[in-house]
Amino acid sequence: MKIVRLHAIVCIIMFGVLNSWSQLRVTTTTTDLAALVETIGGDLVDVTSLSRPLQDAHYLDATPGMVVRISRSDLFVENGFELETGWVPEVLRETRNRRVRRGGEGHVDASNGIQAIQIPQSISRDQGDVHPSGNPHYTLEPVLAQQAARNIADGLIRVDGANSETYLKNLEQYIERSNEIVEKWVEKFEPYSGTSIIIYHKHFDYMLKTLGLDIVDAIEPLPGIAPSAGHVATLLSTFDSESVRAVIMEPWHDQRVGKQVAEGIGVDLVVGCPSVGSCDGANCVITLFETNAAKIYEAINATGGN
Ligand SMILES: [Zn+2]
């Protein structure tokens, strides 16, 4: 009960009187972005995510239902950095609502102004690399996501200037809260600074970097490319429990491979929460970060820390 209340306090900001008839209709591509919209818009918005919490947004297919939802929206928010490149352009082409198309006042690319990491020197999309514009998973790190929250606030103000004060106030509170929580975890991880981690997909990289952890290798040889037996064998012959402290992966990838690597090395496998709503308690980007940080902390401690 206490935990539930704490999450409610961390996540939900409510201002104004609930007027469902006047709520803005907002559609986002992911649950993380939907949570950010709720944080900034409070009860002034009615938000829907096109992907569910345990769906990998790299691989959705455009559906007529998505077109209908976007067509009826006042604001559409996408993650950017080509996360949704396989389906959003098609949905936007099909919609008759020009305002939510790229360049329209009701369109938000939440990545605007964020500096991506891991921008490839040569684009290897032919080989299936799903990160051609750099790492798109910035919502896993709430301080980095402040810029996304700003972009969302700007979008809400463009379509609903009358409530700009509320949106800006909620943005300010989000910035304060996310700074506080991330700082708390950075301090907690300080003794483990430089601890080596193996990942599966490059999903948690921004948060691992903020926590001072060192990603030494990935089970996927390139983002979106399944590992070969040879690549797994190389990982097992290169690393041991002295050189690596945990393996972290997403629930939507083959956990047998994650287990094989973790067990072979002799460390814990952390199945992280990839998105808001994918784990109990991870109901906004701040608690998503906290849930993942706690899981990683426990795994590192289980293998003796630094
Ligand atoms: Zn990815």
| Same domain for 251 and 234 | yes
Domain assignment present for residue 132? The answer is: yes
Range of the domain at 295: 184-302
Amino acid at 7: H
Cβ atoms within 10 A of the Cβ of 219, count? 23
In this structure, are 239 and 156 located in the same domain? no
Token pair 């040879």 is found at 230
Same domain, 158 and 214: no
From the CB of residue 304, how many other CB atoms can be counted at a distance below 10 Å?
10
Whether residue 2 lies inside any domain: the answer is no
Q: 56: CA distance to ligand 1 center in Å?
A: 8
Same-domain status, 152 and 20? yes
Å from CA of 61 to ligand 1 middle: 16
**171 and 194 part of one domain:** no
**CATH at 25:** 3.40.50.1980
Q: What is the pLDDT of residues 241-250, one digit of tens each?
A: 999 999 999 9
Listed residues 164, 182, 200: the one ending a domain: 182
Does some domain include residue 1? no
Between CA 97 and CA 53 the distance in angstroms is 26
Q: What is the pLDDT of residues 48-79, one digit of tens each?
A: 999 999 999 999 999 999 999 999 999 999 99
Helix, strand, coil % in the chain, rounded to nearest 5: 50, 10, 40
Q: Render each residue's pLDDT in the chain as its tens digit; 306 residues.
A: 344 444 556 775 555 444 456 899 999 999 999 999 999 999 999 999 999 999 999 999 999 999 999 999 999 999 999 999 999 999 999 999 999 999 999 999 999 999 999 998 876 555 667 898 999 999 999 999 999 999 999 999 999 999 999 999 999 999 999 999 999 999 999 999 999 999 999 999 999 999 999 999 999 998 999 999 999 999 999 999 999 999 999 999 999 999 999 999 999 999 999 999 999 999 999 999 999 999 999 999 886 544
| 99 and 222 housed in the same domain | no
Ligand 1 center–CA 288 separation, angstroms: 17
| Same-domain check for residues 92 and 241 | no
Picking from 157, 182, 207, the residue at the C-terminal end of a domain is 182
Tell how far the Cα of 26 is from the centroid of ligand 1, in angstroms: 24
Number of domains forming the structure of the chain: 2
CB 106 within 8 A of CB 99: yes
CA 200 – ligand 1 centroid, Å: 10
